[in-house]
């Protein structure tokens, strides 16, 4: 493939943000990226990149110029991910985006969550009691960060019990597939047929319970708010974007507390309202979703660099959330700061439609833990799970002291 050299003064980087060494520790790369300029050309992938808060925020907000409908991964997904027709939410823009978005906003909104709140708070208490009954040293990823969403979310969507172990590997592959076809994608490829077949089967009306998020999506089709063809793809969005994201968000906040004892002491003393701020601060600090691509719909100049019409731009949410131009001591996890304005959930019309679900899961788990746990520390080295898009954990061994 040939590329015209990008016009006017783009800094050029030969680095590979999807290289395994960078994925393992992306902070040095991100710091170089921010230093190199507002817009940097990544010649390895022939795409532009932004890592500073102001420009990332502006690009996320300007969907007319930085479209999602051409795909939010590196590739033209129509060619490289035939197993996954485009999402009606993530990979669409107005006007097509509007009706599906409005339906999910309602299905996952505050009134729907108010109904789940009491039972999720209780579920978190039960889970924490179970974990602590089996000992005070355990893997915080498997036992809490993954266990809690898997306990409450699939039931809330309304899918059957069988096959739920497919949810995490499916999401892992979806988020890998936004990046290049590197070793992570190659490793996931053999199971993609089986996993997407199972996920697609969970989206049909007959297999869904009649009171969950899934049923409410189908009811929106009955009302004519969306079409019957759209309904299963919207259920697929919940199953794609609702599990790995929250698992890694919870892992992020648990790792943050296990490594910041003073912050846990603050939470422990004042769990309401600090549990909610703590989660958003962890989403800022760790940015479970690190990157998304957009595509320029016209020639656009950003910070003195011309991005030509049709080119892909890689937006580094994680880097924007650690930009010292925007955040004081950005690398500090501090639950007393105001993290609002972080772009860890995105920004603008595509901003995470499930963020209230994620916040409720976190509030339930953190308040249940804070009630019983006086302090939490690492009991051994924590291990990353590498993913092209997610900042993920394989294992976080912790030791807790009960009050
Ligand atoms: C979707 C989808 C899939 C992955 C991520 C996401 C973070 C959305 O299918 O709509 O948003």
CB–CB of 59/66 below 8 Å?
yes
- Using CA atoms, how far apart are residues 85 and 174, in angstroms rounded to an integer? 12
CB–CB of 207/232 below 8 Å?
no
Please report which confidence band the pLDDT of residue 77 belongs to, taking 50, 70 and 90 as the band edges.
low
CB–CB of 315/344 below 8 Å?
no
- Using CA atoms, how far apart are residues 119 and 115, in angstroms rounded to an integer? 8
CA atoms within 13 A on the CB side of 168: 17
DSSP alpha helix (H) spans, 321-389 = 355-372
Please give the span between the terminal C-alpha atoms of the chain, in angstroms, as a whole number: 62
Q: So what's the pLDDT on residue 9?
A: 72
CA atoms within 13 A on the CB side of 336: 8
Which tens digit of pLDDT belongs to each residue from 173-208? Answer: 999 999 999 999 999 999 999 999 999 999 999 999
Q: 2-402: which CATH number, 3.90.1260.10, 3.40.50.300, 3.10.180.10, 1.10.630.10?
A: 1.10.630.10
| 242 alpha carbon – ligand 1 mean position (Å) | 8
Which tens digit of pLDDT belongs to each residue from 96-119? Answer: 999 999 999 999 999 999 999 999
What is residue 394's DSSP assignment? E
Looking at every residue in the chain, the average pLDDT score rounds to: 96
Atom of ligand 1 nearest to the CA of 233: 9
Which tens digit of pLDDT belongs to each residue from 245-291? Answer: 999 999 999 999 999 999 999 999 999 999 999 999 999 999 999 99
Answer yes or no: is the C-beta of 145 below 6 A from any ligand 1 atom: no
Pocket test for ligand 1, best of 85, 87, 244, 318 (most atoms within 8 A of CB): 87
| 48 alpha carbon – ligand 1 mean position (Å) | 22
pLDDT at residue 222 is higher than 50? yes
pLDDT at residue 82 is higher than 90? no
CB–CB of 292/50 below 8 Å?
no
Domain ranges for the chain: 2-402
Answer yes or no: is the C-beta of 174 below 6 A from any ligand 1 atom: yes
- Using CA atoms, how far apart are residues 358 and 297, in angstroms rounded to an integer? 32
- Expressed in percent and rounded to 5, the helix, strand and coil fractions of the chain are 50, 15, 35
Place of tokens 């924590």: 382
Q: So what's the pLDDT on residue 2?
A: 36
The protein residue whose alpha carbon is closest to atom 6 in ligand 1 is 241
| 6 alpha carbon – ligand 1 mean position (Å) | 30
The protein residue whose alpha carbon is closest to atom 5 in ligand 1 is 241
Answer yes or no: is the C-beta of 241 below 6 A from any ligand 1 atom: yes
Atom of ligand 1 nearest to the CA of 90: 10
The protein residue whose alpha carbon is closest to atom 11 in ligand 1 is 241
- Using CA atoms, how far apart are residues 226 and 240, in angstroms rounded to an integer? 20
Q: So what's the pLDDT on residue 302?
A: 97
- Using CA atoms, how far apart are residues 29 and 17, in angstroms rounded to an integer? 7
- Using CA atoms, how far apart are residues 33 and 310, in angstroms rounded to an integer? 22
Average pLDDT over residues 68-73: 96
pLDDT at residue 165 is higher than 90? yes
Atom of ligand 1 nearest to the CA of 88: 10
| 193 alpha carbon – ligand 1 mean position (Å) | 18
Answer yes or no: is the C-beta of 237 below 6 A from any ligand 1 atom: yes
| 230 alpha carbon – ligand 1 mean position (Å) | 15
CB–CB of 272/372 below 8 Å?
no
Q: So what's the pLDDT on residue 7?
A: 54
Among candidates 246, 223, 244, which has minimal Cα distance to 107?
223
Residues in the chain: 403
Q: So what's the pLDDT on residue 393?
A: 98
| 240 alpha carbon – ligand 1 mean position (Å) | 6
Q: So what's the pLDDT on residue 133?
A: 98
Place of tokens 């497919």: 166
| 15 alpha carbon – ligand 1 mean position (Å) | 27
How many other CB atoms are found less than 10 A from the CB of residue 166? 18
CA dihedral 251, 256, 261, 267 (to 10 degrees): -80
Average pLDDT over residues 71-89: 84
| Lowest mean pLDDT, pick from 78-87, 100-109, 131-140, 389-398 | 78-87
pLDDT at residue 223 is higher than 90? yes
| 260 alpha carbon – ligand 1 mean position (Å) | 31
Token pair, residue 113, equals: 């969550």
Q: So what's the pLDDT on residue 4?
A: 44
Pocket test for ligand 1, best of 174, 289, 291 (most atoms within 8 A of CB): 174
Which tens digit of pLDDT belongs to each residue from 5-56? Answer: 455 578 999 999 999 999 999 999 999 999 999 999 999 999 999 999 999 9
β-strand partners of 393: 384
Percent of the chain with pLDDT over 90: 95
Q: So what's the pLDDT on residue 8?
A: 59
pLDDT at residue 3 is higher than 60? no
Atom of ligand 1 nearest to the CA of 175: 4
| 328 alpha carbon – ligand 1 mean position (Å) | 31
The protein residue whose alpha carbon is closest to atom 1 in ligand 1 is 237
Instruction: Let me know if 403 is exposed, middle or buried by CB neighbors in 10 A (0-12, 13-18, 19+).
Output: exposed
- Using CA atoms, how far apart are residues 391 and 315, in angstroms rounded to an integer? 15
- Using CA atoms, how far apart are residues 402 and 130, in angstroms rounded to an integer? 14
DSSP alpha helix (H) spans, 259-394 = 261-269, 271-286, 317-320, 355-372
pLDDT at residue 78 is higher than 80? no
pLDDT at residue 128 is higher than 60? yes
| 360 alpha carbon – ligand 1 mean position (Å) | 19
Answer yes or no: is the C-beta of 239 below 6 A from any ligand 1 atom: no
CA 2 to chain centre: 33
Pocket test for ligand 1, best of 73, 239, 241, 346 (most atoms within 8 A of CB): 241
């Amino acid at each position: 493939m040939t590329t015209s050299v990008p016009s006017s003064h783009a800094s050029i980087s030969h680095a590979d943000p999807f290289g395994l060494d960078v994925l393992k520790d992306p902070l040095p790369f991100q710091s170089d990226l921010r230093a190199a300029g507002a817009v940097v050309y990544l010649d390895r992938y022939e795409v532009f990149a932004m890592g500073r808060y102001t420009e990332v925020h502006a690009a996320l907000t300007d969907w007319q110029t930085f479209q999602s409908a051409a795909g939010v991964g590196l590739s033209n997904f129509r060619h490289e991910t035939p197993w996954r027709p485009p999402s009606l939410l993530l990979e669409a823009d107005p006007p097509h985006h509007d009706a599906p978005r409005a339906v999910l906003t309602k299905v996952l909104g505050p009134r729907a969550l108010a109904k789940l709140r009491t039972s999720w708070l209780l579920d978190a208490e039960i889970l924490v009691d179970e974990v602590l009954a089996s000992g005070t040293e355990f893997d915080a990823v498997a036992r809490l960060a993954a266990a809690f969403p898997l306990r409450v979310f699939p039931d809330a969507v309304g899918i059957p019990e069988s096959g739920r172990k497919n949810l995490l590997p499916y999401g892992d592959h979806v988020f890998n597939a936004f990046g290049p076809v590197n070793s992570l994608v190659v490793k996931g490829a053999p199971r993609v047929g089986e996993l997407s077949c199972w996920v697609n089967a969970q989206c049909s009306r007959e297999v869904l319970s009649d009171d969950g998020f899934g049923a409410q999506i189908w009811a929106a089709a009955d009302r004519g708010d969306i079409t019957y063809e759209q309904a299963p793809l919207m259920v697929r969005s919940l199953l794609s974007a609702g599990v790995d994201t929250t698992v890694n968000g919870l892992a992020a906040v648990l790792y943050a507390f296990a490594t910041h004892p003073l912050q846990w002491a603050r939470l422990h003393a004042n769990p309401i309202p600090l549990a909610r701020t703590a989660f958003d601060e962890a989403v800022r600090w760790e940015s479970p979703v690190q990157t998304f691509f957009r595509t320029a719909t016209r020639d656009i100049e950003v910070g003195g660099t011309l991005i030509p019409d049709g080119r892909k731009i890689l937006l580094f949410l994680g880097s924007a959330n650690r930009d010292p131009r925007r955040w004081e001591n950005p690398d500090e996890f501090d639950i007393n700061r105001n993290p609002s304005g972080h772009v860890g959930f995105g920004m603008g019309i595509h901003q995470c439609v499930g963020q209230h679900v994620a916040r409720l899961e976190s509030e339930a788990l953190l308040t249940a833990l804070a009630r019983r746990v006086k302090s939490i520390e690492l009991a051994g080295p924590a291990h990353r799970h590498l993913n092209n898009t997610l900042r993920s954990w394989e294992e976080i061994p912790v030791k807790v002291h009960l009050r």
